[in-house]
Structure 1
Amino acid sequence: MKYNIGVLISGDGSNLNAIINNGINVKFVVSNNQNARGLLIAKKNNIPVYTFKNLLILEAEVSKLILHYNTELLVLAGFMKILSRKFIHSLPHNSIINLHPSLLPAFQGKNAIIQALDYGVKYTGITIHYVDEGIDTGMIIDQKILSINKDDTFNTLQARIKIIEHNLYPLTIKRLLDKKRN
């Protein structure tokens, strides 16, 4: 079964790559950063790419792309901008998802891994959630817990979190799209 999604990125595209490698049909990739390395991954996979620095223009164009490419889900994969209330409510309910490197509601927003290390928690993980008007406040879809080792640094913990993200995000996307079709 083919899964049609649009993806928003801002950075290196490692989760985009995992999504593509799991057979999910990415119809387009949009970035707010014309230098995002993830755009090269999309181009290498013959996926149309679009960049818009201005968030209002980006949102307007994404709305058009969703219709044009008939996508079923908008996936944020390292997209580091906050979508407007107007944009979120212009799309069908629960049609935008995001991935966050903490066990929400703990450590919302930027630098979640650093926040977890600084706070000294024993566990962190990842959360996949629907996007709402808040910052990482949408309804939780799935979570995966990860122990923080005593010798973990930002880099070692981030690398272990990425492994979980790259496995769980594509599976969750497929599950959500299967549910929409049934």
Structure 2
Amino acid sequence: MAGHEIIQLNPFILEEDIQRIQHSITKIKKERSHIKLKNHLISLFDPHLFQQNIYLYDEFEIIRLIGDKMVQLGFIENGGIDDIIGRERMSSTSFNNVAVPHSMHMNALKSAISIVLNDKPVKWGNNSIQIIALIALNKDERRIFRDIYDSFIKILSEPENVYLLLKSKNYNGFINSLLSLMEV
């Protein structure tokens, strides 16, 4: 039965029965947590915020271009772009072929992650990167974001995961790749 776990117990409960029950409870909790994580992840990645091959003069121009689109779609206000650029000027958010620009404030109108996948690397701070994940966070939605942030950054921290994500041809391919990496 979908969504149910059936455990056959001995007429007199033995230690092994208790272990099977505990194992099943742990399994169900893990599955529920994973489903919740997937739903949050999908809610943060809007298909209109998925772009490919953006090559501009520097990272600040790229942030402004992505930010302008987020303003047009109602995710952030104009001042949010300046906050993100200000944060990036303090210290580059690039690592492992990825940049994760974000504001130091939770001032987005709606939480979202804008994704750019580049076929060729672009200079970002002292690094060259191919994935840009611009994060906009609304303070009222920080719980949702907190649920996925660690998993997302962990995935981006592995070079083989970054390589797999870069092979995505479109939004659906990216989301499917990301979800499959979350299942590992």
Q: TM-score, normalised by structure 2?
A: 0.31
In proportion to residue count, which structure has more helix? Answer: 2
TM-score relative to the length of structure 1: 0.32
Decide which structure has the larger Cα Rg and report it. 2
